[in-house]
Structure 1
Amino acid sequence: MLHLHRTGILLLLLSLFASCGKDDGYTAYFSGQVTNPKVPYVLFSRGNKVLDTIPLDKQNRFSIKFDSLTPGMYSFRHEPDYQYIYFDKNDSLTVTFNSDDFDRSVVFSGRGERKNNFMMELYTMNDADRHNAYDLYDLGYKEFMKAIDSVYSKKKAFYEKSKKDIQWSADFDFYAKSRTDFSYYSRKEYYPYIHVRRTGNNIKDSLPTDYYNYRKTINFNDKRLTTFSPFLRYLNSMLSNMAITRNFKNGNLKEDALVNNIEKLNIADSIFKEPSVKNQILNSIAFNYLLEDQNILNNQKFLERYMQLSTDRSKDNEIRKMSIATKKLKEGPRLPAVGLVDVNNKPVDLSKDIDKQTVIFFWTSCARAHLQNVHNHVALLKEKHPDVKFIAINVDKDAEWKRVMASEPFVSDIQLRAVDYRELKDKWVFNKINRTIILNADGTIKNAFTDILDPKFGDEL
């Protein structure tokens, strides 16, 4: 069961409930307190749209009143983490969390707390099952189904009891049931292709004819699902299953291979009929693929197919912007200029500092394991390649960067910080912390999409 940490709640609620005693139509209150904050704000969103940026005060508290908030599912983000929050009419919710252990520390209090704490408890149950389920995919069909049916039965009982006790709305029930069901459905989608990878036994054609009957119950064109992570996780498992089992050859075709991800686009095009829903799903597939594949030729082939299927021609389409930017990062040209500063906040023009083959890598204090790993790896590379320059670029805010710089030993030749993360994302298509760029001695691009932690990275130098 979710352990409820109520430290600091009372003081927040005293002021909160004093101001919301009467019915103000669709007025809603949202407040909270953050332990060990990573950033000085909390983002409040619906779907993919940020509705408000709520600053933290000196006590790391935040509070906001919405005079007209439509009942429904929202989310709050304290970067890099987020969770969902559901508001009914006149709900007044306070949340506390520790950013060092975000998901397991989220606790809601106030009017509307019970349904939201239910969702968090269900989330943690699903998360624990996800981490413990991998060995289940080695099992034979009957043993596998017995194991996941047992877990699903317990979750359904928890869902039904909570629904009866809390008496939540029909719209909230849509999300509660979706979170309950999609975790189970995802395991059924994972099973055929993970089983064959781990055991060599292709059981695809021996599954019962009704194995996928649950797919018929899903309204894939329901707009409420397109930004709900349990559905998106399920959808990724379903598309992976369909794509990989269609293209299965000798049990070794990678899930993130170019051919499989183009197949995912094609399958999505056939499933989703509502244009706005289809475009969002195509975007989701594209983001997931582009996060993993750092091969520029593969990216270009994938994006060509994406362009053929997506009807989103808006200038704000992130995938289209990535496609345009990717073409500027091919081998030969110079890197587009972005704002960079040194430890003294002095602007740095990279084009003037390249006089030998150069490796550019990235780090953030939000990923401490990566921070240690990448700098240890750079130390080894410098010994093997003393003629190569290494430039580390931090993507944190200035104060956090300098704090870490003062406490950690660094081995790179140059330490810089990106002034504007959005510019880095737009111009260098930066979307993964392992991203590495290699420049020739004349400053031109040798490889703009590689990974310094890849075991074969040294072969590129």
Structure 2
Amino acid sequence: MKHLYLIILLSICFTACNKNSKNGTGSSAFLGGEIINPSDKFVIISRENKVLDTVDLDQNNRFLYKINPVESGLYTFSHGGEIQMIFLEPNDSIIFRLNNLDFDESLVFTGKGAKENNYLINMFLENERINNKVLRLSQSSPEIFEKHLDSIKSVLQENLDEFESKYTTSDLFKKIAQANIDYNFYAQKELYPFAYYGNNELKNLQSLPEDFYDYRSKIDYNDNDLKDYFPYYTFLKYNVNNLALQRHFNHSKDSVFNKRSLHYNLDKLEVIDSLVTNSSIKNFLLNFAALRYINSCNRIDDFTPYLNSYLEKSTSPENDAYIKKLVTSLKNLKPGNLLPNTIVTNNKNEELHLSDFIKRPTVIYFWSFNLKNHFLDSHKKVQELMKKYPEIDFIAMNIDKDDVNWVNYLQQYQYPLKNEYHFKNPDISRQILALNSINRVMLINADRTIINSNTNMFSKDFEEQLLGMLNQ
């Protein structure tokens, strides 16, 4: 009986889609499912990074949603911070079932269009396993690495060929499935020099076999069908990094890779601008590159030339406004400036200003429900540091929009509530503090002036920074 509801849903979907097909429309598709152990009361369905709808779960944690009209391609559904892609075509009627405690591994599809999606989710999981294996292989010489990589890829290609001989699928699905294999392995080759050579000196890049990157001549940097596909845009990010590095070495005196170099990051913007004409792909890559650089750079004076170059190339008003606000916020966080004020709440839901409880040298760190490992690791690390540095206050700040459950979450893991706070208006506070990475840690003097607004408690020199703060 427990699957009866899903069977009825499928029957409704098949009937509706068959009716569309008979009428010659074929413009809609159904997506539904059941979520075991849900963490939210809804799912979010998106296409091309735009939310189509937020769909409520019923009392049995199930939903059914009609997409009309539907365009063939990749969609996403998200729940409780987890995201997964679905391939949809007109007349599809897909039902999935998953356990939120084991999101990807438990995901199973049924209905029309299910075979394609079960193949893709299985490939997604297989890629995760393969990537761990390839990382170990990255310590081998280029020749041995390529040999093993080609062997692994050959097995996956045989599996795809067998799947396509067994089932009739669309050309678009075949393209996406092939891209899954190709771009995942291209990405591994782009990452290889960083894993094998470490700091990626110029002489080591030049020692790679001449044909190591021959596949680059086949890359379409403007593939609209793949622009939202994880293997494709992951490859593009790694590829751009390497091409920018080669460009940088060609016209600079540097021979050792420095990812925070202004000139290297300007070269990265130039590479993106020269290769990509598709506005969606270009703006994504530009925005990703800008966020990575700006959030890792502590040289405030370098922001202006970088921002000028970025704005010359970007065509997204929304991204431009965000990056400009971020740069402005970071300039306000310059060492020596007073810590910008923002409103927070404590475990009693009392409102305070952030500066109200800074009386001694202070470390401020951040956490979120959606990043459990970081939450646990950071709190464990702070417990160790508190014993070693009793003269320092360690302040934890929850950044989630939920203004109630953060206290319950801490209690669930039996963490003390002292020095735990929550942003009253998370969006505003995150903008004021330029908080785009959960790993960001801020060091503040007793007089509320900033020592460092962008450090990391897991970096090897963090305790040296703490000692420096105490010795000021």
Q: If the length of structure 1 is used for normalisation, what is the TM-score?
A: 0.87
Match of 1:3 in 2: none
2:446 maps to 1:406: no
Map 1:155-304 to 2 at 5 A: 155-197=156-198, 202=203, 204-245=205-246, 253-255=257-259, 258-290=262-294, 293=296, 295=298, 297=300, 300=303, 302-304=306-308
1:85/1:116 contact within 8 Å kept: yes
Relative to structure 1, is the Cα distance of residues 433 and 403 closer, same or farther in structure 2, using a 3 angstrom cutoff?
same
Q: Distance in 2 between matches of 1:28 and 1:326?
A: 45
Aligned counterpart, 2:423: 418
1:325 to 317, 322, 329: 329
- Aligned partners of 1:250, 1:140: CA distance in 2, in Å? 25
| Contact 1:294–1:451 under 8 Å retained in 2 | no
Deviation string 1:366-403 (CA, Å, 9 cap, x unpaired) is: 33333333223323333343333222112342443122
Whether the 8 Å contact between 2:33 and 2:95 is mirrored in structure 1 is yes
Return the alpha-carbon distance in structure 2 between the equivalents of residues 202 and 160 of structure 1: 40
Cα 1:118/1:315, change in 2 over 3 Å: closer
DSSP 3-state at the match of 2:435: coil
| Aligned amino acid, residue 108 of structure 1 | F
Root-mean-square deviation (CA, aligned residues, Å) is: 3.0
Aligned to 1:356: 360
Alignment deviations for residues 156-206 of structure 1 (CA, whole Å, 9 cap, x no partner): 111222223222212222211111110121222223443322999955435
Q: Which of residues 346, 350, 355 in structure 2 aligns to 1:346?
A: 350
In the alignment, structure 1 residue 433 sits paired with structure 2 residue 433:
no
Name the CA distance, whole Å, in 1 between partners of 2:261 and 2:57: 43
Decide whether the 8 Å contact of 1:182 with 1:231 is kept in 2. Answer: yes
CA drift of 1:11 comes to 2.4
The answer to whether the 8 Å contact 1:331/1:445 transfers is yes
SS of structure 2 residue aligned to 1:138 = coil
Q: Quick one: which amino acid aligns to residue 434 of structure 1?
A: N
Q: Who is 1:116 aligned against?
A: 117
Query: Residues 412-447 of structure 1, C-alpha deviation per residue, up to 9 Å, x if partnerless?
Result: 742111244333332222222221122332333332
- Cα deviation code 1:187-239 (max 9, x no counterpart): 22223443322999955435454433322222212233332211111112212
Residues 358/413 of structure 1: CA separation in 2 closer, same or farther (3 Å cut):
farther
Is the contact between residue 295 and residue 450 of structure 1 (CA under 8 Å) also seen in structure 2?
A: no
State whether structure 2 residue 9 is matched by structure 1 residue 15: yes
Distance 2:123 2:233 in 1: 17
Deviation at 1:68, TM superposition (A): 2.1
Letter in 2 for 1:104: E
* Whole-angstrom CA distance in 2 between matches of 1:200 and 1:276: 33
**Alignment correspondent of 2:379:** 375
Which deviates more from structure 2 when the two are superposed, residues 372-381 or residues 74-83? 372-381
1:80 matched to 2:85:
no
Alpha-carbon spacing, 1:207–1:29, altered in 2? closer, same or farther (3 Å): same
Letter aligned with residue 325 of structure 2: K
> In structure 1, how many angstroms separate the alpha carbons of the residues matched to 2:308 and 2:202?
35
**Aligned mates of 1:121, 1:297 — CA distance in 2:** 45
Question: Unpaired runs of 5+ in structure 2?
Answer: none
Alpha-carbon distance between aligned partners in 1 of 2:435 and 2:429, rounded to the nearest angstrom: 6
Judging changes above 3 Å, is the alpha-carbon distance between structure 1 residues 317 and 110 closer, same or farther for their aligned structure 2 residues? farther
Counterpart residue identity of residue 261, structure 1? N
Shift of 1:147: 0.8
Q: Report the residue type matching 2:236 in the other structure.
A: L
Separation (CA, whole Å) in 2 of partners of 1:69 and 1:338 = 44
The answer (yes or no) to whether the contact 1:258–1:298 under 8 Å persists in 2 is: no
State whether residues 43 and 50 of structure 1, in contact with CA within 8 Å, keep that contact through their aligned partners in structure 2.
yes
Residue 129 (structure 1) shift: 0.9
Q: Deviations over 1:271-292 (max 9, x none)?
A: 113444322221122234456x
Residue 89 of structure 1, CA deviation = 0.6
Q: 1:188 to 1:455 in 2, by over 3 A?
A: closer
| Distance verdict in 2 for CA 1:194–1:402, change over 3 Å | closer
Partner Cα separation in structure 1 for residue 62 and residue 255 of structure 2:
52
The CA distance in 2 between the partners of 1:32 and 1:222, in whole Å, is 31
Query: Which runs of 5 or more residues in structure 1 are unaligned?
Result: 1-6
Q: Tell me the TM-score normalized by structure 2.
A: 0.86
Identity of aligned residues (%): 30
Local SS of the residue matching 1:190 = helix
**Secondary structure of the corresponding residue to residue 387 of structure 1:** coil
Could you say if the C-alpha distance between residues 361 and 118 of structure 1 is closer, same or farther in structure 2, counting changes exceeding 3 Å? same
Other structure's SS at 1:348 match: strand
Deviation at 1:126, TM superposition (A): 1.4
> Matches of 1:62 and 1:333 in 2, distance apart?
51
Deviation at 1:316, TM superposition (A): 6.7
Which amino acid is the alignment partner of residue 335 of structure 2? Answer: E
Work out the CA distance in 2 between the residues paired with 1:19 and 1:192: 49
Q: CA deviation at 1:312?
A: 3.0
- For the Cα contact (< 8 Å) 2:347–2:417, is it kept in 1? no
Deviation, 1:337, is 4.3
Change (3 A) 1:67 1:135: closer
